[in-house]
A and B are shown apart, each in its own frame.
Chain A
Amino acid sequence: MTKILVTGMGIISAIGVGKTPTVQSLLNGKSGIGRIKHLKTKHLELPVGEVSCDDEELKIIAGYKSSLPITRTSLLGRVAIKEALEDADIDNRRPRKMAFISGTTVGGMEKSEQYYHDFLNNDLHNDYISLHDCGACTDVIAKQYEGKFDMVTTISTACSSAANAIILGANLIKAGYVDAAIVGGTECLSKFHLNGFNTLMILDTDKCKPFDKNRKGLNLGEGAAYLVIESEESMLQRKIKPLCELSGYGNACDAFHQTASSSDGEGAYRAIMQALEMSGLSAKDIDYINAHGTGTGNNDESEGAAIMRAFGNNIPPVSSTKSFTGHTTSAAGGVESVISVLAILNDFIPANLNFSEKIETLSFSPVKECVHEAKLSHVMTNSFGFGGNDSSCVFSKL
């Protein structure tokens, strides 16, 4: 079977614009969760992982010079894809055929909610009407690179969207449809989903405490991250140095409840087992799990149960970096895949911040402090979404 290699990455989140500041924040235990600065909401009591730049600053970083309107979701995506494409030197050494697959769910909602009454009552902001849907956000990102991509699509499976984009991209490469794919996701904060999660009573009014006995919920975050993945043949032909291998992945459905996860983590367990099987690895080979770990009562218990079922007595170090970035929802699978690869490349295990007491039903505690000089051969990252859309990816050192 075709080997899938990661040859470039780009990331933007509350802990930094780009890979270097992201690694620094993770190594120094510097969380990006704080008070709301840009999002127009009255829920200022809720801590979030907001990207520090406003839209105008993002435009500069992304090199967006057009006067055409653009949503924050697309802007974040443009910042991340720019870094990823440069990292993989796509401009100078083009892969033969390339796909762009992006995950998002919020799409243009952050602008729609601001201008919704204008949409209905006047013509002041009509431009944003066409930018509302998920696909529009992807097309606006792709437009900058017209001529580079052979196909473009959008995945919307809520909080596992970006992980599923990675899976589709890898399958397209294996089937010979494309030689390379830019995969990941982008999502900005919106009043819509902040209030949505708030009505579900799963937002912590303090900093989130993933895998802690007294966890109160998640903090929403925003960001974007993309990976350039390609076949070994394409990598050799382009003479580009790979960062690591995407050695396995799995997708399964919990089929339990629209917003809650089953107590035995059936969907998560299946996704994890599939990813392990595809990578040809056994539980003891995984050196670190970057957990979905939202910090809600339900997720962490269910995910913990799935990890216990899959790993038994060989549970590797586990941490949730959502304690740094907040839950970047549709981008999370991308953000956390990039973080997992950065951990492999920089020999560390990121901490699970704000943890103090173990969940009684779980056999393990997360990693409290950043582990330096950790030699990681294989890292698993989990992404689970509403509707039981569970996915898991394994990245391996070369």
Chain B
Amino acid sequence: MNIYIQAASQISTQEPLNEKWFDTPSYPDKILNESIDPDFKAYIPVMIARRMGNLLKRGIVTSVDALNKCSLNGDNLQAVITGTGLGCIENTEHFLNAVLDNEESCLQPTFFIQSTHNTISSQIALFIKCHGYNTTYSHRGTSFDSCLLDAFVQMKLGLISNALVGGHDEMTPSYFTLLQKVGYWKNTPLTDENFHAADTRGSISGNASLSMVMANMKVPYSLCQMRTVEMLYAPTMQEIKAKIDCMLEANGMKLADVDAVVMGLSGDKDNDNVYKNIMSEVTRDIPVMCYKHIFGESFCASAYGVYTAATAIAKKRVPSHLLYSSRKEILNPRNILVFNHFHNIDHSLILLSCPD
């Protein structure tokens, strides 16, 4: 049985709910980069939206947009699987501040209710009235990857035939400040030109809201086929290499069949060195695609890696601005490997192909 990505929808630092970024990206010019939000009213009734934080609204709008593209709704959708590294952190901070400032008295429940990590996934289900499988992964930089694995495995087992998977994270100014103290962010913004040149720790922050529909049937608008999803824990270089070989072999492919490898290069030297080692030891001459220079870094940034690869396959080219070393546009990419890691502990490998 083959599994496909049918549609995707995003809200980020790029123009929302479309793929303009693919040809004419804007380059984030701050360290803490805000999302460009669409007109939420067009998707969520004002009375309902009023009680929702921005992250939740983004989650619902990208979900509804992706589902609409495949004529899916709460009745025929079988799973809502959501990744979020921090959940609705804005609400969490509101409630935490209230608990601390008011010394545990005179508290309102609203922010607490919408602070749990599964708020997004369950509110999506509530909004579209979907009683299907529903879960939330919160595992740092592989939260979204875990969603793909869950959906993929359940489809292989025949438990579900479609799934809405999403990666949603927001960065608040105060959480940004905390993470800056522990080396997550640069002190000055990066430009497209110097993005990969810095020899310092830290990246630039961007929010992530990305929803995708996966299904086990090919349709004319399928973006790509998802051949394999693998997660690894603290692997050695040898283990990564062996895993790549193994997943290619299982698909009757060789390394030479891979047209590009997507890597989460973020401008953070520790993070990037892991990718650079893979380039020199494993993937060698295969062109490397990157995406964090236009979408920024977040716990769910890896969703944009998969999205970038899926979009490139669907649009039958990889534009030069997405390429890392060689900047020669790739035409008709058939197979793209998405490699992601977080702190060199949690890793994922996702192999996408042309749907035919």
Restricting to A162-213, which residues have a CB under 8 Å from any CB of B?
164, 167-168, 171-172, 174-175, 177, 191-193, 195-196, 198-200
Closest to B184 in A: A130
Question: Does A393 count as interface, using CB distance less than 8 angstroms?
Answer: no
Question: Does B304 count as interface, using CB distance less than 8 angstroms?
Answer: no
Give A98 to B129 CA distance when docked, in angstroms: 36
Restricting to B164-205, which residues have a CB under 8 Å from any CB of A?
174, 177-179, 181-182
Among B92, B119, B149, B232, the one with the most A-chain Cβ atoms within 10 Å of its Cβ is B149
Cβ contacts B117-128/A at 8 Å (1 or 0 each): 111011101100
User: B24 → chain A, closest Cβ, in Å?
Assistant: 34
Q: Are B139 and A129 closer than 8 Å at their CB atoms?
A: no
Question: Does B313 count as interface, using CB distance less than 8 angstroms?
Answer: no
Question: Does B150 count as interface, using CB distance less than 8 angstroms?
Answer: yes
Chain A residues with Cβ below 8 Å from B100 are: 113, 116-117
Question: Does B218 count as interface, using CB distance less than 8 angstroms?
Answer: no
Given that A154-B139, A252-B132, A389-B118 are known contacts, is A195 also in contact with B99, CB under 8 Å in the complex? Answer: yes
Question: Does B253 count as interface, using CB distance less than 8 angstroms?
Answer: no
Checking A43, A116, A257 against B96 with a beta-carbon cut-off of 8 angstroms, the contacting residue is A116
Question: Does A340 count as interface, using CB distance less than 8 angstroms?
Answer: no
Give A116 to B97 CA distance when docked, in angstroms: 9
Q: Are A172 and B153 closer than 8 Å at their CB atoms?
A: yes
**Interface-located stretch among B105-113, B259-267, B275-283, B327-335:** B105-113
Among B112, B115, B119, the one with the most A-chain Cβ atoms within 10 Å of its Cβ is B112
Checking B87, B112, B134 against A251 with a beta-carbon cut-off of 8 angstroms, the contacting residue is B134
Q: Are B96 and A388 closer than 8 Å at their CB atoms?
A: no
Q: Please report the number of residue pairs spanning A and B whose Cβ atoms sit closer than 8 angstroms.
A: 203
Q: Are B129 and A151 closer than 8 Å at their CB atoms?
A: no
Question: Does A245 count as interface, using CB distance less than 8 angstroms?
Answer: no
**Interface-located stretch among A60-68, A81-89, A131-139, A375-383:** A131-139
User: B92 → chain A, closest Cβ, in Å?
Assistant: 8
Given that A174-B157, A255-B126 are known contacts, is A156 also in contact with B117, CB under 8 Å in the complex? Answer: yes
Question: Does A237 count as interface, using CB distance less than 8 angstroms?
Answer: no
Question: Does B95 count as interface, using CB distance less than 8 angstroms?
Answer: yes
Chain B residues with Cβ below 8 Å from A175 are: 153, 156-157
Question: Does A253 count as interface, using CB distance less than 8 angstroms?
Answer: yes
Give A154 to B144 CA distance when docked, in angstroms: 11
Question: Does A126 count as interface, using CB distance less than 8 angstroms?
Answer: yes
Give A289 to B232 CA distance when docked, in angstroms: 36
Cβ contacts B20-58/A at 8 Å (1 or 0 each): 000000000000000000000000000000000000000
Question: Does B143 count as interface, using CB distance less than 8 angstroms?
Answer: yes
Restricting to B123-160, which residues have a CB under 8 Å from any CB of A?
123, 125-126, 129-140, 142-143, 146, 149-150, 153-154, 156-157, 159
Restricting to A22-75, which residues have a CB under 8 Å from any CB of B?
41-43
Question: Does A311 count as interface, using CB distance less than 8 angstroms?
Answer: no
Question: Does A231 count as interface, using CB distance less than 8 angstroms?
Answer: no
Chain A residues with Cβ below 8 Å from B134 are: 157, 251-253, 387-389
Give A116 to B100 CA distance when docked, in angstroms: 9
Q: Are A171 and B159 closer than 8 Å at their CB atoms?
A: yes
Q: Are B138 and A388 closer than 8 Å at their CB atoms?
A: no
Give A150 to B231 CA distance when docked, in angstroms: 8
Closest to A253 in B: B134
Chain B residues with Cβ below 8 Å from A43 are: 104
Chain A residues with Cβ below 8 Å from B146 are: 153-154
Restricting to A137-156, which residues have a CB under 8 Å from any CB of B?
138-139, 142, 146-147, 149-156
Q: Are A133 and B138 closer than 8 Å at their CB atoms?
A: yes
Q: Are B122 and A386 closer than 8 Å at their CB atoms?
A: yes
Q: Are A119 and B181 closer than 8 Å at their CB atoms?
A: yes
Closest to B126 in A: A255
Question: Does B245 count as interface, using CB distance less than 8 angstroms?
Answer: no
Closest to A385 in B: B118
User: A71 → chain B, closest Cβ, in Å?
Assistant: 15
Checking B99, B125, B137 against A388 with a beta-carbon cut-off of 8 angstroms, the contacting residue is B125
Chain A residues with Cβ below 8 Å from B131 are: 252-255, 266-267, 270
Give A134 to B84 CA distance when docked, in angstroms: 10
Chain A residues with Cβ below 8 Å from B125 are: 253, 255, 387-388
User: B59 → chain A, closest Cβ, in Å?
Assistant: 12
Closest to B105 in A: A42
User: B213 → chain A, closest Cβ, in Å?
Assistant: 17
Give A256 to B134 CA distance when docked, in angstroms: 13
Give A386 to B157 CA distance when docked, in angstroms: 28
Question: Does A112 count as interface, using CB distance less than 8 angstroms?
Answer: yes
Q: Are A120 and B174 closer than 8 Å at their CB atoms?
A: yes
Checking B80, B85, B96 against A133 with a beta-carbon cut-off of 8 angstroms, the contacting residue is B85
Give A266 to B129 CA distance when docked, in angstroms: 12
Q: Are B178 and A387 closer than 8 Å at their CB atoms?
A: no
Give A164 to B134 CA distance when docked, in angstroms: 9
Q: Are A134 and B138 closer than 8 Å at their CB atoms?
A: yes
Checking A123, A196, A256 against B112 with a beta-carbon cut-off of 8 angstroms, the contacting residue is A196
Question: Does B114 count as interface, using CB distance less than 8 angstroms?
Answer: yes
Q: Are B233 and A199 closer than 8 Å at their CB atoms?
A: no
User: B100 → chain A, closest Cβ, in Å?
Assistant: 6
Q: Are A195 and B135 closer than 8 Å at their CB atoms?
A: no
Checking B95, B119, B130, B231 against A196 with a beta-carbon cut-off of 8 angstroms, the contacting residue is B95
User: B153 → chain A, closest Cβ, in Å?
Assistant: 5
Closest to A200 in B: B109
Question: Does B234 count as interface, using CB distance less than 8 angstroms?
Answer: yes
Chain A residues with Cβ below 8 Å from B126 are: 255-258, 387-388
Question: Does A259 count as interface, using CB distance less than 8 angstroms?
Answer: yes
Closest to A106 in B: B116
User: A301 → chain B, closest Cβ, in Å?
Assistant: 19
Q: Are B137 and A153 closer than 8 Å at their CB atoms?
A: yes
Question: Does A396 count as interface, using CB distance less than 8 angstroms?
Answer: no
13 contacts between A and B (CB under 8 A): A42-B104, A105-B118, A130-B182, A153-B149, A156-B117, A156-B136, A157-B121, A157-B136, A192-B92, A196-B95, A255-B122, A258-B113, A258-B122
Chain A contact residues, CB within 8 Å of chain B: 41-43, 100, 105, 107, 109, 112-113, 116-117, 119-120, 123, 126, 129-130, 133-136, 138-139, 142, 146-147, 149-158, 164, 167-168, 171-172, 174-175, 177, 191-193, 195-196, 198-200, 251-259, 266-267, 270, 385-389
Q: A135-B299, A195-B95 are in contact. List 9 more A-B contacts (CB 8 A).
A: A126-B182, A129-B178, A152-B139, A152-B231, A171-B159, A252-B133, A253-B80, A387-B122, A388-B122
